[in-house]
Each structure stands twice: as structure tokens, then as C-alpha cells.
């Protein structure tokens, strides 16, 4: 396989990487950039644990060839906000106990961000439809929906 | 029992051509050893499961012809002739009225992500069945990745965009280094995973006929959960004149080896005065018009039981969308 | 919800690991990355039953990979679960088998510098199998013509011959059930069929193992018990436990699937030892789906009832299809008997249970451990009886339920204790009001395409597996509390938090005992080397047992602190108390108020002399609330005397931080203590579900429209997280009721979903009721034997969901489903046949 050099802009930081065609974005993020917030959950695009934003759009990193995103901007959960400057969604997830085991949380947060970027004041139904691809086995989703609604009702959204 | 979905185990060359000509040349060169990569939501899964092991992937993400949605003037020529391809084979029945030569078409680049097609105002306004199908599909992230052409090219009997495109009379423009051709979506599928596409061929565009007065369409689906492949889906399209059905098309997904149009049911409606009773009567025959199997998602019996329910609701909604009353 | 009598117990505080979890910084086992680490993959059998004749690894080795086969692993039979006493433990497996017993069983493993290379090497391996006839049905498995999965296994240290593929049997008799049935006014009999489902925890099973220069191992892995993993590895590989260190990492959900040491852990350990370098083995989702499942089974239930609504007897036959290995079937059969006998007063019980080997994915505990299964049977049966006898379903339940003062079997017949707290009546009363029970109507009154129905299911689960007498079950926990030199507190707890917030509850218990704000208590990263033993996070024991250990440690540290403060203040320690001053947000050690009758300060017995299960606060609070103890809203709770500002003359006081600091300066030693205790009770938590469904009679689709989930978990330590347990359980067991099934093809023995969750659907956001239609409620109960009145909740939350859903479906369309899941396909088939029974 031919190696090639690509550029990724991940959470605002530019990385130049030499990659082969069968490298998946998920594994590059986790293993090479050490951004382990994004998770492997099923590998076939059915659980949403690996969701990242690709040029602002929710994308499944487990099914994305890294060569195909050369030059693009990627946002992972680490890019939403850090411990000392949480994104309102991150804060709301804490406030509403929307986190249990936390394994789905990064993918859910990133998807929720895409939702609010697209539709700042979604209805409960719109939230549920937008997040239907992010499986969570712990919470039953109720607290997650509440947390997103709370953010959408805050000023600035 | 041999797979590892954490990685993409196969080794392959990757090309991201910048022009359609280059892409078609690559497909011609690599033939069956190549696969076209659009959104990857189907192909990457198949590769991870070792169901296909291409030696080369040709990405269509940079091909302008395959992206975006636009209106195109066709100067009154039938779409197939404009595209310069072979004449349309209608599988033994002809439902398009002779005067329906398209003035223009809504042209959707085949690699356009499903979510972009869904957001297009014209699609939402005029092609309700397609819009409803797109909204019912998968997760948002998968709709951002997956393309409408990929959904068709995959040739799954459960492809949700197929029945709406069939009833909307959509036509595909296909291209290979050998030239272009067109094919109605209806004739595109040949069996599970099989289509008209030759190994060196691409779907370039999907052409939707211009909106006509007093037409309406609808799509309905049942899955196991909200985010699922269809257990069964149904699409219906009507063109109305007064209380009469001028034309009608009905198609089902996940009930046969390929997306299935049911002319026998349509024939009961075309030219008839539409009312509740007739729609119910026709729908009640849906179970006999399909060829479902038992599979992991549902049973043949269930599919036959709910096909009338889905169809009746689709027909009613489509008829009301024509402006008709029930 | 907040409770004014407590500083932080019962208040909602952000979980300690929350910021790490929302920023992606949390470290799960799969996130561990070590220098020089190789990646491992496993080869899994494509056959359900096949002898492995030969393995050709030459091509794989030529690629530079290290291959582990059955020849490389110790000939040590193990049982991966360490909860039962060894004498009652069956052992039937090796790290890698010489015979594959189910499709997807790992038969060898490969490690290489990259996962791609490891997988390439795996593909190059040739395995020659001798196919054996597969056994894919539990009934047929017992027939003489069926191939045996095992000739013999170990029970304790003894060899045991396996006959007719029966892994184990249990028989339990109370009174004379047959005579009681014969003399009952009515006898009802029904067979219930429960399906196989996959835990579907989001994190797949992982092990990272690093060989250490001293011959030991350091392990990061997915587990519900780090100590069990250490003991298991020590035994299998013959390494002293002092040289094995299992690190506590975050767990991405589990639901019972990691009570046992997961199969990938010893494989990774053996590979690391062979490769002489760190090895990481992360299960792919498809491997994980082929690794564990819940216990499917068939329950035949016969119940005798008299006209006065009294139940006379139950006869129960329970057949469990355990798949290819026995992980904990023997205790399951006993526990499930407990789930039966402790739900209603049967008075007389005949219980026969059998666990059968088949060539399927090995079954293990899943949230409820047989209880959702038994509850579905009993709570369906209760409704059947009520309907046919014309009893009011709630009155019938109230007439016969097991509650305060009754004996409860928390983990089978050997783990019994007396119930001291019970919120059943309150739950039924409040739940019926909230759901509109009296307006639910009869199925015969409902017409049209969409029909709604309301169903009730009530259940319970144990809190831990402790009993006055030692039993078949090991159940104790340890915790270490340290007050640091600045007054901040470290809590070192080996108990794994499955996500529900058990460790936060522990921190809260420590904060409460030391009267410090939650922010001052830190959950230290720990491992087996730095903690005392904890058996496992199972049996909903996290808060009840793990919390009691934390409380014991905190009380001991408090005693030491009071001693330091006494020296500094020149007071007897027993005259001192801890008080949090909300004004300056400081915790003070101060002199107690003067007792008017004696003229002396109030005294407190040294905490270390008290059994942790008999807490003075608990007694006071419980006593203060009688009668009616169970009914008062939390706001009405009386603040305990200890939190009143001292009366009379200003107290002598010193801040906790100052006392801690002076202890160091003066060289008095570290304020540290380890608690280690076994609870001597296993109080049940009671959960009641009222659920409204809507059945589309044309498509068979059932939607859960509304749910009221009521829990008696004693004091909810973390109310919002406790509500999350109820909400999550509704999703999991709603799916169990309506769709989930992870079944095997009867011909090939492969899973229908082939391990891919594409065809193993669980509830998404859209299948759940809208937020305003999902209510949770906590009864006003206080468990005297629990830390600050708390009981468990995790498992109880799920046990009666499926029965409530099935009862709601019956109320909607008049059809009784006796097997799960109630899919649209089965609803339409039943509606079409109009027979209704059995479906």
C-alpha cells in the first residue's frame, strides 16, 4: 500500500501524518494522536460511540478512511471544552446526571453539538430523532435529552 | 467467524481522482478489483467483514459531477434520450403517459450525502416519498456520510431510497469509460447486491422528473427500532384529475430479492375514482403481490400482514397530497 | 431532592469522575497504551462443537507474530467467577480449549506489533477440526443421543461426571406444596419462556497485561472485580498474588457481564508471558457478542389460591440453557428460587431447577440474575389469577407480598435475613394514583387500531449477599479512608463502579461521616495492591456493602481525628464532635453540647466498637420516624442532634484541617483506617413499575407511552443517579420485553446477528417515553442496616419492567403473552389466531 502524507486539523491543531489507505480515522485519533475520548463501540457504524465532527458534521470515525479526510477539520470530544472551560453541553451533562458509565458520552456530546449548531432550539422529538443513532445502555436517554434541552434554552443558543 | 471490525484489515490502493474522466479510467483499469468509495457506510462494513476485499478503492468525493443538487433544462426530451443512453426498458409495462416528456429535471449528484438531499427544499416540497424515506434512514452521522447513489448501488432489497425513486419515476445516469447510459431506477436492481452497474461503471446522477400538478407521494417504513434497516417499506405516487387517478405507482422494499414495483396493484387504481373503499380494497391485496422471506429482521408472514397497512396509509397520504379528498 | 438532616447524603452532586467523562479524559481499559505493547487478536471457532485436531502456525510465526495455542496454557481448570465459596464452584474451562464448544469460542490468539499484522497472522493459521454433532436445544441436550459437551468437570476439588449434559440441578422444598395445591380452591398453571439477550454494554471486554521483571503481572482490564481477576490469574499461572497487580480503570457499562474474569484476560496474560512484553487484547464487538449472554430459560409455574385471595402453594420447574460453560449456573438456580419465594407468601414451595449445557454462547449473570425471568413468570401469573378469580390485582398483591418482618432469600436458600424496611404499599398506592390505574379499563372495552393499556409489575432485588450465617456466597468489602495533612480526604475503594455512581455514594458516605463537603473527598486511583479485598460489584451490593465498608473506615478515622483534636483542645475525644459550619464552609472538631440532665457533654461511643451494620444514626433516624416511619416526606425528617449548634457556652473548637495538620507536625501519625466487613443482612429493595403502552393492532408495534417507576432503596444516596438507574432499566428491560433476542441459528449454532449489533437492536432515544411521561419516585423508607439507611437499587430497577409491559399489553388487547420478547410479529400472529394462549 502506498503511504501518503496528509494534514488533519484536529480540535484546531494541525497534524501532518504519514498514513496508509486502510487506516481508519478512529484508530489514528486514538492510537496516533492519543485522543482516546472517541470510542470503538461496534466498528460498523451502528452505535455512535465513535462520532466526531468532520467539517462540523457528525461522522462515524470507525468507518472513515483517514486518507479521505486530508485537509479537513475534525472535532472530537476533547475539542468541545477542557476541564477548566467546559462546553455548555458538557456542563449540562454533569448537571443532569446524563453520564453513567460514560462510554457513549463523547459520541453523544459531539452529536448533540452538531444538533445545536444546526438547530439551536430543537424540540424534544427533534433531539430524540437526531440522537437515535447514539446508543446508550445505561441511562435510558431521559437525562441526556433533558441536558440537551437545558442547553438549548440557555442564552446564546 | 473471522473478522475484526476495529480495523480495516485488507490492503488496497486508494485513489481520489479529481475528474470524472480520471475516475472512469481508474475503474476501467482495475475492473472488478476496484470498488467505488462514496460514503463508505456499506462498503467499509463489507470490507471489515471480509465480504469484499478490493485491491483498489476509487473515491468519488472530489468529483463535482457527483455532488450537489440542481435543476436542469431538458428541452422537452425524454430524460433517457437527453442522457444519450440506451432506451428505457420498462419491463413489459408502460405507465408513463406519452405527453410526459420532461421539460426539466431535478438532478441529484450520486455522491451527495443523504442528509443534504433530505435538506434540499425542492426535495422536501415536491418529492415527499423520497424526503420521508431519507428522514427514516439510519443515524444522522450515517446520513451525513452515506450517499444516495451509494444506497442504490449497494442494491440492497431493503434500500430505503429505492421505492420512492421508483414511484417518482427517477432515472439514473450511469457512466463508464465506454460511455454513458441511463436507466430508470425501476430497472436498475437485479437481485440482492446485484444491479445493472458494470464493474467499471458509476452512477453519476439521479434525475427526478419535474413536479407535475396534482401529484403526490408518500413513503412508510417499519423497522425494529427507530434507527434501522426496513423490515418492510412502501412508497406510493398518484397523479390526480378531479376524483380520478390519472396515474399511480406503488413500490415496496424488503419484500423481494430487489425493490419491487407492483403494477398489478397500480392497474386497479389507474383510471379509477379514488375513495376510501377502493384504497382499502387495493391495499388488502398487497400481501399477495409481494414475495417476502423470513430473515433476521422479520418474517414472511408478518411482511404480508403489514404490507396492506403500510400501503393503505401510503396511498391515502399520497392521494391527499395530490389535493384529492377521501 | 435533598434531605435537610444530612450534609450531602441525598443531595445531587456532580459525579467525581464526571469531568473526566465529559471531556474524553476518562481512562477505560481500552485506552491504556504502554511502550512496547503488542496487540492481540483471537481466532474463534466457526463450529458449534468441534475437536481441534491440529493447528498450523508456521505462516503466522513467519510474519513475526507470537501465537498462543492450547499447548501453551496451563492445564488448570478454572471458573472465572469468584463469588461462590470454592467448594460450591464448578470448573469446566481452560484458558484455551482443545475442543470448541460454541461458535465464537476463542481457540487461539495471536500478538504482533500492530493489530493489522496480528490479524494477518491470524488469517494465515490453519486449524483442522473434527466436527462433532452440535447440541443446540436444552431439551434435546438431555436426551441420550445428544453428544456430551463434557465428560467431567470439577466441583470444588473433586471430579464430577456430567450426565445428559446437565450442568447442575437444585431442588428446594418448603412445606408440603403438593398437598396444599390439592386442597386449594383454584390451581393455575402456566409455562413461561424467556429469551437469550446480550448485555450490550458499550465497552467491549479488554485486557492489557504487562509482564513485570519480578515475574509478576500488571493488569488493566474490564472487570467488576479487580480482586477476583488477581486471584484467578494467580491460580491459573501459579504466580503469588503479591506479584499480580490489577488496576482499577473505568468500566464502560457491564450489567453483570464482567462479574467473572472475562475470557480475554487470561488469554492476554498467557500471551504477554509468552511474548515477554505488554499485550493488549480488545474484543471486537462481534467477539464480545459471542462471549457472554444472559440466562435464557423456561419456567413452569403452578400456583394454588384460595377464594379469600390467599396463596397456598407454588410448584416451579426452571430449565436454564446455560450454553457452553458453567459460569454461575449453580448459584443462579438457588438465587432464582429466592426470587420466587421472596416475592409472595407461597407458604409451600416445590422448586426443581436444571441447568443444561448446549453449544451456545456461555450464559452469565445479567442485571437481576434470574430475577427478571422469575418476575415475569410470577407477575404474569398474579395477573392471570386476579383476572380469572376476579380479584383486584393490587389488593391481591397486598394480601400476599413479602414485606417487613418476613424472611428474605437474598442469594438462594443459604442467604436469608429478615426484612426491616419495605416500601411496597407506598409504591403501589402512589404509583396507582400517578398512572391513573383506576381508569385503565378492561381490554374488552378497547377498540380501534391503537389501543392503550396499563400494566403493573412489582419486584425486588437483594442488596448484597450477606446473611447472619456464612453461606455459599462470599460477600465482603474493604475500604481505606485517609485524612490528608491539609484536611482533604482520600478514599481508596476497590469496588468497581459500573456507571451507576457507587463510588460517588461511597465518597458521600465518607463526607457525611466526617462532615466535610463532597469536594474535599477524593476517589483515589487504586489497584489490588493498595486495597483490601472486595468480592465484586454484583448483587446490588455496591452501596449497601461497599458503602458500609467505607463507613466503617470513615468512623475509625473519625475516632483518630477526635483523638488528635482532643489532645489539641485538651478534651476527652468522646466529648468532641464534628460539625460543618456552612458560614465559613469549614469542618470543626468541637466540644459537644452539655446535657442538661447530667451537666456533662454528650458522649459518643468510639465508632470502632460498633458493628457497622448497627449504626446509631440509623437507629435514631429510623426510630424518629415511627410511626409512620415510611410515610414522611424527606423534608419532614428531623435533623439529628449532632448537627445542632452546641447550646450554651461557646464550644472549644478547631478546624478539621488544623487538627490534621497538627497531627503531622506533632508526629502523631497518619489519619488512616481500613474498614473490611461482611454485611449480615441482605435487605431487598422493592421496585414497582406502572407502565402504559399503546398497541398498534394493525402493525403489532407496541410503544411505551408512560411509565411510573417507584423504588424503595432506603435512602437514595445520589437521588439523580438513582433515578438514572430506574430510567436505564426501563430502556434495557423494555427492550427485553418488546424486542431483544440474541438467539442462535438452530442449524449452524451461529448467532442470527453474527455478532454484529446491526441485527441485535436495543432501545434508542425514540423507543423511550417522552421525558414528561417518565416519572421516578422514591419511597420514604430507611434501612436500619444500611449506610445512612441505604439499600441497593441497580438490579431491582429492572426486574419488574418486562412483567409490567406484558401486563400492559394484556390490558390493551386482552392477549396474554407468556414468552418474550413480545414482538410485532408475535402480536399480529396472536391477534390473527385470536387464541391468545399460549403465544
Domain ranges (residues) in chain B: 13-59, 65-208, 215-321
Pure H helices in B127-214: 128-136, 140-145, 148-153, 162-167, 185-188
Helices (H), strands (E): how many in chain C?
20, 31
Instruction: From residue C747, give the alpha-carbon distance in Å to each of C133, C136, C137, C340, C361.
Output: 11, 8, 11, 34, 15
A126 touches B at CB < 8 Å = no
Q: Mean pLDDT over residues C411-415, rounded?
A: 92
The per-residue pLDDT for A1 is 87
Q: How far apart are the C-alpha atoms of C354 and C340, rounded to whole Å?
A: 15
Domains and CATH numbers, chain C: 18-23+476-677 (3.30.365.10), 33-132+208-253+258-284 (3.90.1170.50), 297-468+682-833 (3.30.365.10)
- What is the arithmetic mean of pLDDT over C258-275? 98
CATH architecture for segment(s) A80-152: Orthogonal Bundle (1.10)
Distance from CA of B241 to the nearest CA of C (A): 31
If pLDDT is split at 50, 70 and 90, which confidence band does C70 have?
very high
Distance, in Å, from the CA atom of B104 to the CA atom of B122, rounded to the nearest integer, reads: 13
Cβ-nearest to B141 among A1, A44, A48: A48
Neighboring chain C residues of A107 at a CB cutoff of 8 Å: none
Q: How many CB pairs under 8 A join A and B?
A: 96
CB contact under 8 Å between B141 and A45, yes or no, is yes
For chain A, residues classed under CATH 1.10.150.120 are 80-152
Distance CA(C498)–CA(C254), nearest Å, equals: 6
Q: Which chain B residues are closer than 8 Å to A42 by Cβ?
A: 5
User: Rounded to whole angstroms, how far apart are CA atoms C828 and C517?
Assistant: 57
The reply to whether residue A100 touches residue C22, judged by beta carbons under 8 angstroms, is no
Cis peptide before C616 (omega within 30 of 0): no
Report, as an integer, the average pLDDT of C628-657.
54
Q: Does pLDDT of C581 surpass 70? A: yes
Contacts of B53 (CB under 8 A, 6+ apart): B10, B47
Tell me how far CA of residue C726 lies from CA of A140, C13, C818, in angstroms: 8, 18, 24
The pLDDT tens digits for C443-499 are 999 999 999 999 999 999 999 999 888 889 999 999 999 999 999 999 999 999 999
pLDDT, residue B73, reads 86
pLDDT in tens, C97-145: 999 999 999 999 999 999 999 999 999 999 999 999 999 999 999 999 9
The proportion of chain C whose per-residue pLDDT surpasses 70, expressed as a percent, equals 92
* CA distances in angstroms from A93 to A38, A109, B161, C92, C345, listed in the order given: 17, 8, 36, 44, 43
Question: So what's the pLDDT on residue C623?
Answer: 37
ipTM: 0.98
Supply the pLDDT for residue B320: 98
Residues C717-725: what's their mean pLDDT? 96
Q: Give me the helices (H) in A96-138, please.
A: 105-118, 124-130
Q: Which of C169-178, C311-320, C648-657 has the lowest mean pLDDT?
A: C648-657
pLDDT above 50 (res C14): yes
H/E element, C138? helix C138-141
Q: Is there a contact between A45 and B11 if contact means CB atoms under 8 Å apart?
A: no
Q: Residue B102: what pLDDT?
A: 80
pLDDT attached to residue C2: 40
- CB-nearest to A140 from C200, C768, C770 is C768
Are C489 and C401 spatial neighbours (Cβ–Cβ below 8 Å)? no
Q: Which of A54, A67, A130 has the CB atom closest to B140's CB atom? A: A130
CA–CA separation, B11 vs A62, rounded Å?
17
Instruction: Determine whether the interchain pair A47/C22 forms a contact, defined as Cβ–Cβ distance below 8 Å.
Output: no
Q: Nearest by CB to C720, from A30, A97, A102: name it.
A: A97
The reported pLDDT for the residue numbered C618 is: 39
Q: Does domain B65-208 have CATH number 3.30.465.10?
A: yes
Percentage of chain C exceeding pLDDT 90: 90
Please tell me the distance from the alpha carbon of residue C829 to that of residue C460, in angstroms, as a whole number: 33
- Residue C209: is its pLDDT beyond 70? yes
Q: Express each pLDDT in C330-377 by its tens digit.
A: 999 999 999 999 999 999 999 999 999 999 999 999 999 999 999 999
Which chains have 3+ CB pairs within 8 A of B?
Answer: A, C
pLDDT-derived band of residue C593, with 50, 70 and 90 as boundaries?
A: confident
Residues of chain A with CATH 3.10.20.30: 4-79
Whether residue A62 lies within 8 A of chain B, CB to CB, comes out as: yes
* C-alpha cell recorded at residue C373: 425471568
Chain A contact present for B199, CB below 8 A: no
Whether B13-59 shares its CATH topology with B215-321 is answered no
SS3 (DSSP) at C268: helix
Of the CATH numbers 3.30.70.2740, 3.30.390.50, 3.40.50.620, 3.90.25.10, which one belongs to the domain with range B215-321? Answer: 3.30.390.50
Instruction: Specify the range with the lowest mean pLDDT, choosing from B241-255, C325-339, C566-580, C643-657.
Output: C643-657
CATH architecture observed for domain B13-59: 2-Layer Sandwich (3.30)
CA distance C575 to chain A (A): 40
Chain B residues bordering chain C (beta-carbon distance below 8 Å): 1-7, 9, 45, 49, 222, 224-229, 296-299, 301-302, 305-306, 309
Q: Which residues of chain B, if any, have pLDDT below 70? A: 75-101
CB contact under 8 A, A57 and B115: yes
CA distance A33 to B317: 51
What are the angstrom distances between the C-alpha of C112 and each of C40, C280, C328?
A: 7, 10, 34
Residues of C in contact with B6 (CB under 8 A): 115, 282, 284
- Choose from B12, B221, B225 for mutation: most chain C CBs within 10 A: B225
pLDDT of residue B150: 98
Q: Is the pLDDT of residue A86 over 50?
A: yes
Shortest CA distance from B226: residue in chain A: A132
Cβ–Cβ of B229/C762 closer than 8 Å? no
Cell of A88: 455548555
Is B125 near chain A, with CB under 8 Å? no
More confident residue, C603 or A73: A73
pLDDT band at C5 (very low <50, low <70, confident <90, very high): confident
Which CATH entry fits the domain spanning A4-79: 3.10.20.30, 3.10.580.10, 3.30.9.10, 1.20.1270.10? Answer: 3.10.20.30
Amino acid at each position: 500500500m502506498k503511504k501518503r502524507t496528509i494534514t488533519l486539523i484536529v480540535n484546531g491543531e494541525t497534524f501532518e501524518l504519514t498514513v496508509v489507505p486502510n487506516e481508519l480515522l478512529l484508530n489514528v485519533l486514538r492510537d496516533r494522536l492519543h485522543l482516546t475520548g472517541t470510542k470503538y463501540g461496534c466498528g460498523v457504524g451502528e452505535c455512535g460511540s465513535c462520532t466526531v465532527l468532520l467539517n462540523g458534521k457528525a461522522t462515524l470515525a470507525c468507518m472513515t478512511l483517514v486518507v479521505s479526510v486530508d485537509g479537513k477539520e475534525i472535532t472530537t470530544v476533547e475539542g468541545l471544552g477542557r476541564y477548566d472551560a467546559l462546553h455548555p453541553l458538557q456542563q449540562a451533562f454533569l448537571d443532569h446526571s446524563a453520564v453513567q458509565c460514560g462510554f457513549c458520552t463523547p459520541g453523544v456530546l459531539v452529536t448533540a453539538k452538531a444538533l445545536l449548531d444546526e438547530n439551536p432550539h430543537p424540540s424534544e422529538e427533534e433531539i430524540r430523532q437526531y440522537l437515535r443513532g447514539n446508543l446508550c445502555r445505561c441511562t435510558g436517554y431521559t437525562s441526556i435529552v433533558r441536558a440537551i434541552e437545558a442547553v438549548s434554552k440557555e442564552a446564546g443558543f | 467467524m473471522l473478522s475484526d471490525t476495529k480495523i480495516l484489515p485488507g490492503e488496497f490502493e486508494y485513489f481520489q481522482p479529481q475528474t470524472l474522466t480520471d475516475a472512469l479510467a481508474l475503474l476501467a483499469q482495475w475492473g472488478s478489483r476496484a470498488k467505488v468509495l462514496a460514503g463508505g457506510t456499506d462498503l467499509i462494513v463489507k470490507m471489515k467483514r471480509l465480504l469484499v476485499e478490493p485491491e483498489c478503492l476509487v473515491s468519488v468525493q472530489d468529483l463535482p459531477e457527483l455532488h450537489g443538487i440542481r435543476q436542469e433544462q431538458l428541452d422537452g426530451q425524454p430524460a433517457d434520450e437527453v442522457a444519450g443512453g440506451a432506451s428505457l426498458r420498462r419491463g413489459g409495462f408502460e405507465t408513463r403517459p406519452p405527453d410526459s416528456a420532461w421539460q426539466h429535471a431535478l438532478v441529484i449528484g450520486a455522491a451527495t450525502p443523504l442528509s443534504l438531499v433530505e435538506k434540499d427544499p425542492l426535495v422536501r416540497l415536491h418529492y415527499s416519498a423520497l424526503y420521508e424515506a431519507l428522514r427514516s434512514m439510519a443515524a444522522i452521522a450515517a446520513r451525513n456520510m452515506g450517499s444516495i447513489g451509494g444506497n442504490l448501488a449497494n442494491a440492497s432489497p431493503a434500500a430505503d431510497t429505492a421505492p420512492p425513486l421508483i414511484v417518482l419515476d427517477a432515472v439514473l445516469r450511469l457512466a463508464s469509460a465506454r460511455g454513458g447510459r441511463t436507466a430508470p431506477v425501476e430497472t436498475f436492481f437485479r437481485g440482492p447486491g446485484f444491479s445493472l452497474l458494470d464493474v467499471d461503471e458509476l452512477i453519476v446522477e439521479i434525475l427526478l422528473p419535474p413536479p407535475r400538478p396534482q401529484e403526490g407521494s408518500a413513503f412508510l417504513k417499519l423497522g425494529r427500532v427507530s434507527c434501522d434497516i426496513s423490515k418492510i417499506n412502501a412508497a406510493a405516487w398518484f397523479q390526480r384529475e378531479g376524483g380520478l387517478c390519472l396515474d399511480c405507482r406503488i413500490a415496496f422494499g424488503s419484500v423481494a430479492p430487489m425493490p419491487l414495483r407492483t403494477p398489478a396493484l397500480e392497474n386497479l387504481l389507474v383510471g379509477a375514482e379514488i375513495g376510501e373503499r377502493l384504497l382499502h380494497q387495493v391495499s388488502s391485496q398487497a400481501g399477495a403481490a409481494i414475495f417476502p422471506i423470513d430473515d433476521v429482521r422479520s418474517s414472511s408472514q408478518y411482511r404480508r400482514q403489514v404490507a396492506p397497512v403500510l400501503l393503505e396509509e401510503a396511498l391515502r397520504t399520497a392521494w391527499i397530497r395530490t389535493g384529492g379528498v377521501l | 431532592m435533598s434531605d435537610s438532616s444530612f450534609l450531602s447524603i441525598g443531595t445531587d452532586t456532580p459525579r467525581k469522575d464526571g469531568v473526566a467523562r465529559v471531556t474524553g479524559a476518562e481512562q477505560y481499559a481500552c485506552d491504556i497504551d504502554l511502550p512496547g505493547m503488542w496487540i492481540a487478536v483471537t481466532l474463534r471457532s466457526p463450529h458449534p462443537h468441534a475437536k481441534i485436531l491440529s493447528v498450523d502456525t508456521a505462516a503466522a510465526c513467519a510474519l513475526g507474530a507470537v501465537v498462543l495455542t492450547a499447548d501453551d496454557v496451563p492445564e488448570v481448570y478454572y471458573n472465572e467467577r469468584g463469588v461462590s465459596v470454592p467448594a460450591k464452584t464448578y470448573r469446566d474451562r481452560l484458558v484455551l480449549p482443545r475442543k470448541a464448544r460454541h461458535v465464537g469460542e476463542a481457540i487461539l490468539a495471536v500478538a504482533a506489533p500492530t493489530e493489522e499484522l496480528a490479524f494477518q497472522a491470524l488469517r494465515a493459521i490453519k486449524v483442522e477440526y473434527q466436527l462433532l454433532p452440535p447440541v443446540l436445544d436444552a431439551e434435546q441436550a438431555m436426551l441420550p443421543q445428544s453428544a456430551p459437551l463434557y465428560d467431567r468437570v470439577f466441583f470444588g476439588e473433586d471430579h464430577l461426571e456430567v450426565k445428559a449434559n446437565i450442568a447442575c440441578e437444585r431442588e428446594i422444598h418448603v412445606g408440603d406444596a403438593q398437598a396444599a395445591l390439592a386442597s386449594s380452591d383454584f390451581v393455575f398453571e402456566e409455562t413461561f419462556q424467556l429469551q437469550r439477550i446480550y448485555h450490550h454494554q458499550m465497552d467491549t471486554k479488554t485486557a492489557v497485561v504487562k509482564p513485570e521483571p519480578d515475574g509478576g503481572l500488571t493488569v488493566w482490564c474490564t472487570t467488576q472485580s479487580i480482586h477476583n481477576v488477581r486471584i484467578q490469574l494467580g491460580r491459573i499461572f501459579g504466580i503469588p498474588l503479591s506479584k499480580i497487580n490489577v488496576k482499577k480503570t473505568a468500566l464502560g457499562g457491564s450489567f453483570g457481564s464482567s462479574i467473572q474474569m472475562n475470557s480475554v484476560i487470561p488469554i492476554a496474560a498467557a500471551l504477554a508471558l509468552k511474548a515477554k512484553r505488554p499485550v493488549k487484547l480488545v474484543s471486537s464487538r462481534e467477539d464480545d457478542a459471542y462471549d457472554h449472554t444472559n440466562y435464557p430459560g423456561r419456567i413452569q409455574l403452578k400456583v394454588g389460591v384460595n377464594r379469600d385471595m390467599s396463596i397456598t402453594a407454588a410448584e416451579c420447574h426452571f430449565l436454564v440453557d446455560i450454553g457452553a460453560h458453567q459460569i454461575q449456573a449453580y448459584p443462579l438456580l438457588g438465587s432464582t428460587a429466592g426470587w420466587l419465594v421472596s416475592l409472595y407468601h407461597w407458604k409451600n414451595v416445590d422448586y426443581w431447577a436444571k441447568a443444561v449445557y448446549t453449544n451456545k454462547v456461555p450464559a452469565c449473570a445479567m442485571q437481576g440474575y434470574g430475577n427478571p425471568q422469575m418476575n415475569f413468570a410470577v407477575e404474569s401469573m398474579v395477573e392471570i389469577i386476579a383476572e380469572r378469580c376476579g380479584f383486584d390485582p393490587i389488593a391481591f398483591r397486598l394480601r400476599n407480598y413479602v414485606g417487613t418482618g418476613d424472611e428474605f432469600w437474598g442469594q438462594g436458600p443459604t442467604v436469608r435475613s429478615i426484612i426491616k424496611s419495605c416500601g411496597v404499599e407506598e409504591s403501589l398506592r402512589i404509583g396507582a394514583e400517578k398512572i391513573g390505574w383506576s381508569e385503565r379499563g378492561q381490554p374488552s372495552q378497547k377498540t380501534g387500531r391503537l389501543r392503550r393499556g396499563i400494566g403493573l409489575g412489582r419486584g425486588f432485588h437483594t442488596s448484597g449477599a450477606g446473611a447472619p450465617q456464612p453461606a455459599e456466597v462470599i460477600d465482603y468489602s474493604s475500604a481505606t479512608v485517609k485524612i490528608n495533612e491539609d484536611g482533604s480526604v482520600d478514599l481508596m475503594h476497590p469496588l468497581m463502579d459500573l456507571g451507576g455512581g457507587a463510588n460517588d455514594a461511597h465518597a458521600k458516605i465518607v463526607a457525611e461521616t466526617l462532615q466535610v463537603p463532597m469536594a474535599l473527598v477524593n476517589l483515589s486511583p487504586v489497584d489490588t495492591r493498595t486495597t483490601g479485598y472486595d468480592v465484586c460489584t454484583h448483587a446490588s451490593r455496591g452501596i449497601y456493602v461497599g458503602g458500609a465498608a467505607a463507613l466503617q473506615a470513615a468512623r475509625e478515622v473519625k475516632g483518630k481525628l477526635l483523638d488528635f483534636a482532643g489532645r489539641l483542645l485538651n478534651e476527652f475525644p468522646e466529648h468532641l464532635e464534628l460539625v460543618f459550619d456552612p458560614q465559613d464552609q469549614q469542618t470543626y472538631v468541637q466540644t459537644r453540647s452539655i446535657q442538661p440532665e447530667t451537666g456533662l457533654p454528650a458522649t459518643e461511643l468510639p465508632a470502632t466498637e460498633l458493628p457497622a451494620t448497627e449504626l446509631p444514626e440509623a437507629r435514631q433516624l429510623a426510630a424518629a420516624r415511627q410511626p409512620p416511619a415510611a410515610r414522611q416526606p424527606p423534608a419532614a425528617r428531623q435533623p439529628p442532634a449532632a448537627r445542632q449548634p452546641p447550646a450554651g457556652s461557646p464550644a472549644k473548637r478547631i478546624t478539621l484541617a488544623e487538627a490534621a495538620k497538627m497531627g503531622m507536625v506533632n508526629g502523631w501519625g497518619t489519619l488512616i483506617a481500613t474498614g473490611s466487613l461482611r454485611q449480615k443482612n441482605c435487605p431487598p429493595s422493592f421496585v414497582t413499575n406502572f407502565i402504559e403502552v399503546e398497541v398498534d393492532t394493525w402493525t403489532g408495534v407496541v410503544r411505551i407511552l408512560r411509565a411510573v417507576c417507584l423504588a424503595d432503596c432506603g435512602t437514595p444516596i445520589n437521588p439523580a443517579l438513582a433515578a438514572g438507574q430506574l430510567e436505564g432499566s426501563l430502556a434495557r428491560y423494555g427492550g427485553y420485553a418488546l424486542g431483544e433476542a440474541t438467539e442462535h441459528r438452530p442449524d449452524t449454532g451461529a448467532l442470527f446477528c453474527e455478532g454484529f449489533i446491526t441485527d441485535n437492536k436495543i432501545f434508542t432515544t425514540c423507543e423511550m417515553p417522552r421525558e414528561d411521561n417518565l416519572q421516578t419516585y422514591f419511597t420514604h423508607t430507611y434501612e436500619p442496616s444500611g449506610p445512612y439507611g441505604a439499600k441497593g437499587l441497580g438490579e431491582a430497577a429492572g426486574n419488574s419492567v418486562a412483567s409490567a409491559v406484558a401486563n400492559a399489553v394484556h390490558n390493551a388487547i386482552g392477549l396474554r403473552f407468556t414468552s418474550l420478547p413480545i414482538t410485532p410479529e408475535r402480536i399480529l400472529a396472536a391477534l390473527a389466531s385470536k387464541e391468545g394462549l399460549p403465544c
